[in-house]
Chains A and B, each alone.
Chain A
């Protein structure tokens, strides 16, 4: 079973990279741009047939390693 995990900085945490990317894109003329948040993306395959169980394993991976819960949030999607 395969999952896509997106990790981004929490809503109120400063995202210096997103800020600079946004300013640059705006400078390039992308006027409708409102905001940019930068994050990390993982694809993870789990050898587990039960989706609920697999999801929990991925969640544990996020909690214990992939995300820095002090400053980051994550989303898990089955793909």
Chain B
């Protein structure tokens, strides 16, 4: 399978996610933001980092770049698009995903391992997870506090568009297991067609037991088959 990782000035998880994809046997290409053509891809990843320094608003400037037009085209024709962290913020700024990512409730950058509950596995990204499984991924962001209007929230909940929510070790989803103030503990959302996933936690950091754990592997392997 072919994957493309989009690189913006200030992206900094591009290498990490490319390594993860390669490890899982994707044929990956790095795509520079000024390029006007996307290589043939079965998966597009917008990696984490601080595109354009997160200046103005996280993701806002990257959303205006050349390559985004191509990504939007590909996404609209059904190509899976995964936005991680800053990538999620960029997907929101382009309008490919709805909602907003506000500053963390404690107004601080938060970097730590958190638990997530896999709520829905009927989508390309989560097939290989057992539904209800609790996984541990790393988060590292300043603006990950997801917010949206009540209609959209209802749509997300009703149509199974929330694959991951923050929880505690035992899978309990409540305020104390919410690291950043996210609405309903939402850690990631899908678009209605379920081919675009935006998530704050970093699955690419969890692919090796020596470093952390392997809870991120199933996400990438889900896309593979």
Contacts and interface: CB of A to CB of B under 8 A. Distances in A.
| B partners with A | yes
Interface of A: 16-17, 20-21, 24, 27-28, 38
A24 B56 CA distance: 11
A21 B53 contact: no
B147 interface: no
A22 to B, nearest CB: 10
Contacts of B53: 16-17, 20
Which residue of B53, B56, B64 has the most chain A CB atoms within 10 A of its CB atom?
B56
Contacts of A20: 52-53, 55-56, 61
* B: interface residue count bin: under 10
7 contacts: A17-B55, A20-B53, A20-B61, A21-B55, A21-B61, A24-B52, A24-B64
Interface in B54-68: 55-56, 61, 64
**The 8 nearest A-B residue pairs measured at CB:** A17-B55, A20-B55, A24-B61, A20-B52, A21-B56, A24-B64, A20-B53, A16-B53
Nearest to B66: A27
B32 to A, nearest CB: 15
| Interface SS of chain A | helix
A21 B53 CA distance: 11
B185 to A, nearest CB: 30
Nearest to B62: A24
Contacts of B64: 24, 27-28
A27 B66 CA distance: 10
A17 B10 CA distance: 13
Given A20-B61, A28-B64, 7 more contacts: A17-B53, A17-B55, A20-B52, A21-B55, A21-B56, A21-B61, A24-B64
Contact of A38 (B52, B56, B61): B56
B23 to A, nearest CB: 33
B62 to A, nearest CB: 10
Interface string B37-53: 00000000000000011
A78 B136 CA distance: 52
A46 to B, nearest CB: 25
Contacts of B55: 16-17, 20-21, 38
A29 B52 CA distance: 18
A27 B55 CA distance: 16
B116 to A, nearest CB: 32
Contacts of A28: 64
A16 B52 CA distance: 10
Interface in B131-180: none
